[in-house]
Structure 1
Amino acid sequence: MKRFFLLCSGVDLDLIQNCSNGEQNKYAGIGATVFFTALMATIASSYALYTVFNNMYTAVFFGIVWGLLIFNLDRYIVSTLRKKDSFLKEFAQAFPRLLLAVIIAVVISKPLELKIFEKEINQVLLTEKNQMTLDNKNQIAAQFTPEITKLQTEISDLKEEINLKEQETNQLYETYIAEAEGRKGTKLKGKGPVYKEKREKHDASLAQLSELKKNNQEKINAKESEIASLIQQQKDSETNSQPIIANYDGLMARINALDQLPWMPSLFIFLLFLAIETSPIFTKLISSKSEYDYKLENRTSKIRTWIQQQIDQREKIMDTDTHINTEIYNDLKSEEELYNYKQKMAQNLMKLQADSFFENQKRLL
């Protein structure tokens, strides 16, 4: 277990084995922090991805991948932080790593906040879903209500037309009855010529009323069927859109719901993970140079010196070889045998060029 945590801390295992037990325990503690931070990242990421994919195996797989990524980042941050002779230099070296640690702390803490405050978030989502349902009904109603209202007005107009015709017919009925009883008109009892004339007007109006009722009732039935169809379309639209509202339960929706809760608990959870994530870095910053740091610095210095020696040696070899080659070619400048040989070769080359030029000119002629 101790060796595993030392491996998590990113130390050189060969060097740390030769250090004191206390030094090994310090780096084992740092490695344990790195390991458990990655474990918490795996859990948090798995839950967050489960809310997205709604599949346990997919969420766990990608959660493990994310946890390994966080583990590698934390291990890199801790292992590359070197002790300097100046605290300011150490802080300047650690500052980018601290920023990265803050980002990692945010990424880890947010999904766990979603799980911890799951019940409160569900209540907020329920309220939002209810409001969305009401808003959705109002929006759908706004699409159908004008047409329904128009049809209902037309139906009312048709019924009003029938009522007016009935009132007119009833008035004619009252007129000819009063004529027959002698109460109005000629005031002569009996069914005389005036009575017959008024009776004919009533009968004609009654026939028109019957025809009007028949025609208007057909129109009313058609418009009522159209209203029923529009109402059914409105209900179907509400039913079809309801699953979308019911599925308003994704990662972004939960994060927005979390933002509506009191900020203090979320802040403390974030600070907790921030402290966990940055604790290895601050441990190295506030601690003085220890046995492992000196041994690592000694080994690094040896390698740096050896490499510098190799580079210097190669540069000297190259300078020496260049100087020797220069001397050799300078000596060759005064070599008479080489001069005569090159002169002979040049003469032969010029003869060949002259012969070739002559042959070409001869073919052209």
Structure 2
Amino acid sequence: MTVRTKLAAVRRRVTRQSIAEQLLTVAGANREVLREAPKERGKQVAMGAVLVSTAGLAMVSASYALHLALHFWWPFAVLGGVAWGLIILNLDRWLVVSSPRLTSKVGTLAMALPRVVLAVLIGAVVSTPLTLAVFSAEIGTEVREMAAENEDAFTRQLAEDSRYAQLPTLREQIAVLEADLADGVTQADVAEDPAVVDLQRRLDDVIERYNAAEDAYNQEIDGSGGSGIPGFGPATDARREARDRLAEERDSLTRQLAELKPQVLEQLQAEEVQTTIDQQAELDRLETRVTDTEERREAEIAAHDEAVGNSDGILARLTALERIGEDNPTLATAHWLLFAFMTALECLPILFKTMLALAPPSLYERLLTLEEEKVEERVQLRMQTEYEEAEVLAKSALAAAEARAARTLEAESRATGMVLDAQLDVTREGVERWRDEQLAGAGRVNGVETDLVKHL
């Protein structure tokens, strides 16, 4: 075997060993116990590998979900997936490490049940995006059909909405008002005045009767009508007089109409100022109403377009998958089987730990129990020792305190005695000094009296 081959073998062995050490850390294994039971090392490494595998599935699932639901760019989605995978790894590791082994299987199952339920919930959350990814082609087609159905329904709703059905009528009213404001007062407005209309109607009636009288007069002259006698005579004169009377009435009405129209035009022009103000206000109101209605309509269309653009999220895809399952039982069965399989994979660590807890204790578990008992004994011994040391120290401190108190009392008694002796000496000296002063005073008095007696 060459040196290079040996180095490669050593490198592979070191790599495998480092990976195994990391997996043991993930599994929460006790390395000191594994040194006593090396055969149990493989189980703990396998447990760590299972935890890492479920975390990897969670990472892939979360990355796909972030890209699908929130439209994250793939690098950011992967970063989010890594964070989610670490969270799932931590939760699974806690579930595995905190699962106890009790003396009875019923107690073990009771303690494991909440952890299994939590693992199932986590597995369902993690496996849902993976299930959607497997059926992405069928789901994409169904999502597009759902979007088309929603678009048709929205278009019908928009067309039938009473708020927007009046827009054409409002636009026509706006066009009429704008044309009226642009033209001002015209001859057509004058012709529509009630007085002008009445006078024009009377004039048209007179003109019609005048034309009829003119025809009757001509027929009387040529003998084609009336008396049937051609030429001029009394009948012709009577018809001429009727025609001339109607001609005078026609001319009079024509003059009245010609005089009335300027008056009406002037009156309408005078009223046009206020009419223009009213029409402009009505035009502004209609334009505001149309603008607001169109803005609401555009806002609804924009909101619908945005909803359609975001209609490929997880919820829409789940709905599409359910619809596909209703029409295709085979796909529904495959969906639920895949979902159950993915969920079981995510629940594998806690299920594996629960099955180990129900089985007879392994060598590793027995050694771990002994190690824990030793640790507990050491802790109890240390605590007992610390308690005894504290008790001895307390007794020593109490004795020292009593000795200090006795010495202090003795010293205080001695000091009090010394103070009393000093005070007694001072008092004694004061009394003696007072006595001497009194005796000296008495001697001086006796001397004075002796001198007086001698003088006398």
TM-score, normalized by the shorter chain, greater than 0.5: yes
Secondary structure, in 3 states, of the residue corresponding to 1:30? helix
* Matching residue of 1:40: 57
User: 1:277 offset after TM fit, Å?
Assistant: 2.5
Using the size of structure 2 for normalisation, the TM-score is: 0.58
Mapped contact 1:133–1:245 kept (Cα < 8 A): no
Distance in 1, Cα, partners of 2:367 & 2:119: 27
* Matching residue of 2:251: 196
User: 1:233 offset after TM fit, Å?
Assistant: 6.2
- 1:15 and 2:37 equivalent? no
- 1:60 and 2:69 equivalent? no
Against the structure 1 CA distance between its residues 255 and 93, is the aligned structure 2 distance closer, same or farther, given a 3 Å change threshold? same
Percent identity of paired positions between Structure 1 and Structure 2: 17
Using the size of structure 1 for normalisation, the TM-score is: 0.70
* Matching residue of 2:413: 343
* Matching residue of 2:375: 303
Mapped contact 1:5–1:32 kept (Cα < 8 A): yes
- 1:246 and 2:263 equivalent? no
Distance in 2, Cα, partners of 1:226 & 1:341: 110
Against the structure 1 CA distance between its residues 25 and 329, is the aligned structure 2 distance closer, same or farther, given a 3 Å change threshold? closer
Against the structure 1 CA distance between its residues 290 and 100, is the aligned structure 2 distance closer, same or farther, given a 3 Å change threshold? same
Gaps of 5+ in 1: 351-365
Against the structure 1 CA distance between its residues 16 and 328, is the aligned structure 2 distance closer, same or farther, given a 3 Å change threshold? closer
Against the structure 1 CA distance between its residues 123 and 251, is the aligned structure 2 distance closer, same or farther, given a 3 Å change threshold? closer
Which has the higher mean CA deviation after the structures are superposed, 162-171 or 64-73? 162-171
- 1:87 and 2:90 equivalent? no
Against the structure 1 CA distance between its residues 99 and 181, is the aligned structure 2 distance closer, same or farther, given a 3 Å change threshold? same
- 1:181 and 2:211 equivalent? yes
Distance in 1, Cα, partners of 2:159 & 2:48: 57
* Matching residue of 1:75: 93
User: 1:71 offset after TM fit, Å?
Assistant: 1.1
Which has the higher mean CA deviation after the structures are superposed, 319-328 or 248-257? 248-257
* Matching residue of 1:152: 173
Look up the equivalent residue of 1:152 and give its one-letter code. Answer: Q
CA-atom RMSD, angstroms?
4.9
Q: 1:1-365, aligned counterparts within 5 Å? A: 3=20, 4-16=22-34, 19=37, 21=39, 23-50=40-67, 51-52=69-70, 54-115=72-133, 116-117=135-136, 118-119=139-140, 120-128=142-150, 131-132=153-154, 142=163, 145=166, 149=170, 152=173, 171-172=201-202, 174-182=204-212, 188-190=242-244, 192-200=247-255, 234-235=293-294, 238-239=297-298, 242-248=301-307, 254-255=314-315, 258-259=318-319, 261-262=321-322, 265=332, 268=337, 270-287=339-356, 288=359, 289-326=361-398, 339-344=409-414
Mapped contact 2:143–2:312 kept (Cα < 8 A): no
Mapped contact 1:9–1:28 kept (Cα < 8 A): yes
User: 1:152 offset after TM fit, Å?
Assistant: 3.2
User: 1:48 offset after TM fit, Å?
Assistant: 2.8
Query: Could you give the per-residue CA deviations for residues 298-327 of structure 1, whole angstroms, max 9, x where no partner exists?
Result: 211111111111111222222333344445
User: 1:153 offset after TM fit, Å?
Assistant: 10
Look up the equivalent residue of 1:80 and give its one-letter code. Answer: S
User: 1:175 offset after TM fit, Å?
Assistant: 0.6
Distance in 2, Cα, partners of 1:30 & 1:96: 20
Distance in 1, Cα, partners of 2:397 & 2:278: 115
Mapped contact 2:28–2:93 kept (Cα < 8 A): yes
Mapped contact 2:143–2:316 kept (Cα < 8 A): no
Look up the equivalent residue of 1:35 and give its one-letter code. Answer: V
User: 1:349 offset after TM fit, Å?
Assistant: 10
Look up the equivalent residue of 2:412 and give its one-letter code. Answer: K
Against the structure 1 CA distance between its residues 12 and 339, is the aligned structure 2 distance closer, same or farther, given a 3 Å change threshold? closer
Against the structure 1 CA distance between its residues 205 and 44, is the aligned structure 2 distance closer, same or farther, given a 3 Å change threshold? farther
Distance in 2, Cα, partners of 1:341 & 1:182: 163
Mapped contact 1:38–1:67 kept (Cα < 8 A): yes
Query: Could you give the per-residue CA deviations for residues 98-117 of structure 1, whole angstroms, max 9, x where no partner exists?
Result: 24323322332344455445
- Bigger radius of gyration, 1 or 2? 2
Secondary structure, in 3 states, of the residue corresponding to 1:194? helix
Query: Could you give the per-residue CA deviations for residues 209-263 of structure 1, whole angstroms, max 9, x where no partner exists?
Result: 9998xx7999999978986786566555544554443332559964266347528
User: 1:195 offset after TM fit, Å?
Assistant: 1.7
Against the structure 1 CA distance between its residues 179 and 99, is the aligned structure 2 distance closer, same or farther, given a 3 Å change threshold? same
Against the structure 1 CA distance between its residues 257 and 137, is the aligned structure 2 distance closer, same or farther, given a 3 Å change threshold? farther
Secondary structure, in 3 states, of the residue corresponding to 2:243? coil
Distance in 2, Cα, partners of 1:180 & 1:296: 133
Against the structure 1 CA distance between its residues 55 and 243, is the aligned structure 2 distance closer, same or farther, given a 3 Å change threshold? farther
Mapped contact 1:9–1:75 kept (Cα < 8 A): yes
Against the structure 1 CA distance between its residues 210 and 326, is the aligned structure 2 distance closer, same or farther, given a 3 Å change threshold? closer
User: 1:295 offset after TM fit, Å?
Assistant: 1.9
Count of residues paired in the alignment? 344
Mapped contact 1:8–1:31 kept (Cα < 8 A): yes
